[in-house]
Structure 1
Amino acid sequence: MPTPQALAAPLKVLIVDDEPLARDRLRALLSDIAGQMPTEVVGEAANGLLALDVLRQMPVDVVLADIRMPGMDGIELASHLGRLEKPPAVIFTTAFDNYAVQAFDLNAVDYLLKPVRTQRLLAALQKVPGQQPDVALLAGIGHEVRGGGRTHLSCHERGRLLLVPIGEVLYFKADLKYVTARTVEREYLLDEALTHLESEFADRFLRLHRAVLVAKNALAGFEKAAGDDAEAYGWALLRGVPEKLPVSRRQWVPAKALVKNS
């Protein structure tokens, strides 16, 4: 007799792994358990960036994502998916049984150790739908695993998920509950905390003011503020855009020293 899962609509699955053989194995395993858990593989991708391209075209129920991939790894992919209005469930696959895997052993996500086993895959899929990944937790774990911050930030605009390459951001400016990220081309409104961005990208950005972080390589120079200027002790000049950023008295000396020594 078919199981209740077999009578339900197939789960739409996206397989994300940079190794073709690993993707083929997951397809074969999904076929093996079709009688107990019907699934439909709607696409494959070799990294997180390509996976997001697929997801812009079609919704899925489950993403089977490798952890270590070039371009954008599985942890960062999951952090972006967690910001979607209806995020898919994420099941990590990995060959590394280390502290990161232990951290994923939460109700938020599941993980499969490679080589993936049939019954373990079935057990993971039976948890869908379940709790979604904790975005803040993933950001912290991802930083430890890859030895640095995310490659992209994400924001919603007119119902779409937009990616902002961190290497293109000139500065972050906090305003009430949101943070604006400025690139040469435009501004993006992020649902991020400035303190978290400062911690995650300490190697790239410098705090100029309680509300401003600037990319170190975007600084072009400084000018002293007028004596009656209550907004700033001085102003930072940027490469590529005409805006000036306020610099506090406390940050004036370290910011100038950075430009002098670069």
Structure 2
Amino acid sequence: MLVAAAVCPCPPLLVPEVAVGAAPEMDAVRAACTDALGVLAAARPDLLIVVGPAGPGEGGVFPQGGRGSFKGYGVDLDVRLGAGTQDATAERELPSSLAVGAWLLERTGWADAPVEGVGVEETLTPERCADRGRELGERADRVALLVLGDGSACRTVKAPGYLDERAAPYDAATARALATADLPALLSLDADLARTLKSSGRAPWQILAGAAEGTDLDGTLLYEDAPYGVGYMVATWS
């Protein structure tokens, strides 16, 4: 059963070595993520599952110890998912979102429970996301989720997706749903609109909603803003 969840954004800019000169601008997001992971540790889960968006062909399950890298962003930095020691020659590399998740876990010194990763492709329908969430919620007696994903990337004219007037209402509705653990609201997020607004979080958030069915978790919003025109939200459910 799901006993706790932390929702965090997953831009590589969270990693100071990647952000370089812009690193201080992300300090508030990093601090909120640290607080959110503290809620996961306090829940004392039997299993932590890190769920994040994945590109075409990158989806699936990644075992503890899975390797991720930020070399594609010009930084010689590798991370591992949890404390495992998988053979690096025999494993798939973590998608970018799960690499960020692994970095967050390393940064906070996670050692409280076994960890595995799940990469989710954006083509997964809301119905299938909910089903996948229910499956994950049954993986152990006490399951925690670290759910990674960004809101819209269309909040300003300088945003990656340029300005779209639908972006701010989309992010506001998502933030309200995360703040109140509103499962129907999350499950009602439109996949086509999310794709148009370049929101990578839609599928992971809907997996969270499926995993939380039958629980009585309360939500708390720790951060919501749009630096660089991209909606970033940090929330906890416990």
TM-score tier after normalising by the smaller chain length: under 0.3
Larger radius of gyration: 1
Higher-helix-fraction structure: 2
Q: Relative contact order (alpha carbons < 8 A, sep ≥ 6): 1 or 2 greater?
A: 2
Higher strand share: 1
TM-score, length-scaled by structure 1: 0.26
